[in-house]
């Protein structure tokens, strides 16, 4: 039997190795890899560039930094654009990491208007209207917003009034408009007409001149229209590729253009469902006054990515302009077909409520001279390949003011491209509404949506409209 002293010695000897073992298990501190920052270059609407270095940032972080740089609070109308290796424009997803959206190449972006407000006078701040003016000026110069000669002259006169103030014959020489760029193909006759109208705007402040500019620009038929190339078959039994058309997405719905004319218009309350499958894009239309059944119209897009991009643009525009609040993403863990994409920003209804609470002095900002538009553009920004003309909507086929409608040319409904709704791996958004919004006064009456007899689609955007909220 060992003595108590011997036992204590054994315990003490055992304790020492235990401490040593603990020290031996302690691993050295690992060296952290240096964070690789990525330079982001953003071309702003005034032609200047904003640069910032980011790492694992999401699109929302970059967007907020740009808006802070511009001192912009009504930011829900804007977004960030980028181009893929095929030079196709996309909107940066605010909820995804930037590096997962930019597949190679430099991080070069553009800050643009995404949702054109139907009534710019309801914007709360002058700085927001100024940014919208810059976007419209760029749309006109790039040919995306066709105008007549008179409209070019009128809009140009408001630009001059905003930047130079009242006409002064002692200060303004005969060629004082030579630095301004009003139209893609500007002539001396146009400059003379702008000078004549500029003289009539005496006393208008820059903010007032810009408001008059927007009030006239919003009346243009192509204002806020996002164009997409597509084809449609004239006969459902015809196996040919179809007739070239252009699909335009705007605040009021979906527009169809062919051979210089708008041949049809589908307002959001008229559309029950939007979907796409592979390179085909579908809209389901509620029956008309003398029709009994719903109809599905299909369009052929250049490829699957183009069809998905058009579908996303439609979902975002419908949600922003028609709903009170965005539809939350599905939370079901059950495997489901289709996309989980939902518009995640504020709707126009929400942003108007929040903008009404803005309480700050009018921010001071410097208005950029128009001549900058001739020196910088998004197409020429470093990191971009030369813009491919086949990817640019052919606006030469559109009339100057795009004022002709389907009724004017005697055109009826577009022919069916496919009578059978897409099934299987489709990605769709069913649109169910009760009454048209205040923003669309041309659509009158109460509309009720009867549930279709076919099975419910896998993805639905069912929500209240702005009129429901007002009730």
Q: Three-state secondary structure along the chain? A: CCCHHHHHHHHHHHHHHHHHHHHHHCCCCCCCCCCCCEEEEEECCCCCEEEEEECCCEHHHHHHHHHHHHCCCCCCCEEEEEECCCCCEEECCCCCEHHHHCCCCCEEEEEEECCCCCCHHHCCCHHHHHHHHHHHHHHHHCCCCCCCHHHHHHHHHHHHHHHHCCCCCCCCCCCCCCCCCCCCCCCHHHHHHHHHHHHHHCCCCHHHHHHHHHHHHCCCCCCCCEEEEEEECCCCCCCCCCEEEEEEECCCEEEEEECCEEEEEEEHHHEEEEEEECCEEEEEECCCCCCCCCEEEEEECCCHHHHHHHHHHHHHHHHHHHECCCCCCCCCCCCCCCCCCCCCCCCHHHHHHHHCCCCCCCCCCCCCCHHHHHCCCHHHCCCCCCCCHHHCCCHHHCCCCCCCCHHHHCCCCCCCCCCCCCCCCCEEEEEECCCCCCCCCCCCCCCCCCCCCCCCCCCEEECCEHHHHHC
Determine the pLDDT at residue 140: 96
Tens digit of each residue's pLDDT (9 = 90 or more) over 218-264: 999 999 999 999 998 665 555 556 899 999 999 999 999 998 789 99
Residue 232 within a domain: yes
* Residue finishing a domain among 217, 235, 269: 217
Residue 283 within a domain: yes
Q: What is the CATH number of the domain that holds 185?
A: 1.20.80.10
199 and 244 within one domain: no
Residue 5 within a domain: no
Query: Residue 66 sits in which domain range?
Result: 38-113
* Residue finishing a domain among 94, 113, 132: 113
Determine the pLDDT at residue 28: 62
Residue 180 within a domain: yes
Determine the pLDDT at residue 455: 32
Structural domains counted in the chain: 3
Residue 48 has pLDDT above 50, yes or no: yes
Lowest average pLDDT, out of 92-96, 356-360, 400-404, 437-441, goes to: 437-441
Determine the pLDDT at residue 118: 96
High-pLDDT (> 70) share of the chain, %: 66
- What number is the average pLDDT over the span 87-98? 92
Determine the pLDDT at residue 344: 83
396 and 272 within one domain: yes
Residue 210 within a domain: yes
186 and 309 within one domain: no
Residue 4 within a domain: no
- What number is the average pLDDT over the span 294-308? 93
Residue 30 within a domain: no
Lowest average pLDDT, out of 191-195, 324-328, 331-335, goes to: 331-335
High-pLDDT (> 90) share of the chain, %: 54
- What number is the average pLDDT over the span 99-103? 87
Residue 134 within a domain: no
């Amino acid at each position: 039997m060992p003595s108590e002293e011997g036992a204590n010695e054994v315990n003490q000897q055992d304790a020492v190795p235990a401490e040593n073992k603990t020290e031996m298990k302690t691993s050295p501190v690992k060296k952290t890899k240096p964070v690789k920052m990525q330079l982001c270059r953003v071309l702003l609407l005034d032609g200047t560039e904003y640069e910032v270095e980011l790492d694992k940032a999401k699109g929302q972080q970059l967007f907020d930094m740009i808006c802070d740089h511009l001192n912009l609070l009504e930011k829900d109308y804007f977004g960030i654009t980028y181009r893929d290796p095929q030079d196709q424009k996309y909107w940066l997803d605010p909820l995804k990491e930037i590096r997962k959206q930019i597949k190679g190449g430099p991080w070069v972006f553009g800050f643009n208007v995404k949702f054109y407000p139907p009534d710019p006078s309801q914007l709360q701040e002058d700085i927001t209207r100024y940014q919208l003016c810059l976007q419209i000026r760029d749309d006109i110069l790039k040919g995306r917003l066709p105008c007549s000669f008179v409209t070019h002259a009128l809009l140009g006169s408001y630009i001059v009034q905003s930047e130079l103030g009242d006409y002064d014959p002692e200060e303004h020489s005969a060629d004082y408009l030579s630095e301004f760029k009003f139209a893609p193909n500007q002539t001396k006759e146009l400059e003379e007409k702008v000078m004549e109208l500029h003289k009539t705007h005496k006393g208008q402040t820059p903010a007032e001149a810009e408001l008059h500019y927007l009030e006239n620009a919003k009346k243009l038929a192509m204002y806020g229209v996002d164009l997409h190339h597509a084809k449609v078959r004239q006969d459902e039994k015809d196996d040919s590729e179809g007739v070239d058309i252009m699909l335009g997405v705007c605040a009021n719905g979906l527009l169809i253009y062919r051979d210089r004319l708008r041949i049809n218009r589908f307002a959001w309350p008229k559309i029950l469902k939007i979907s796409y499958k592979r390179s085909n894009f579908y809209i389901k239309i509620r029956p008309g006054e003398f029709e009994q059944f719903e109809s599905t119209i299909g369009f052929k897009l250049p490829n699957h990515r183009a069809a998905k991009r058009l579908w996303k643009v439609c979902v975002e525009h419908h949600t922003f302009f028609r709903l009170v609040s965005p539809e939350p993403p599905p939370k079901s863990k059950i495997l489901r077909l289709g996309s989980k994409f939902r518009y995640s920003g504020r709707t126009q209804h929400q942003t108007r409520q929040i903008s009404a609470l803005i309480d700050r002095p009018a921010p001071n900002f410097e208005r950029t001279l128009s001549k900058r538009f001739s020196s910088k553009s998004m197409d020429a920004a470093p990191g971009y390949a030369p813009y491919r003309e086949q990817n640019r909507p052919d606006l030469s086929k559109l009339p100057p003011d795009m004022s002709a409608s389907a009724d004017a040319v005697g055109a009826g409904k577009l022919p069916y491209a496919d009578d059978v709704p897409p099934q299987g791996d489709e990605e769709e958004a069913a649109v169910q509404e009760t009454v048209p919004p205040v923003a669309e006064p041309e659509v009158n009456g109460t509309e009720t949506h009867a549930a279709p007899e076919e099975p419910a689609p896998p993805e639905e955007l069912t929500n209240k409209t702005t009129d429901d909220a007002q009730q």
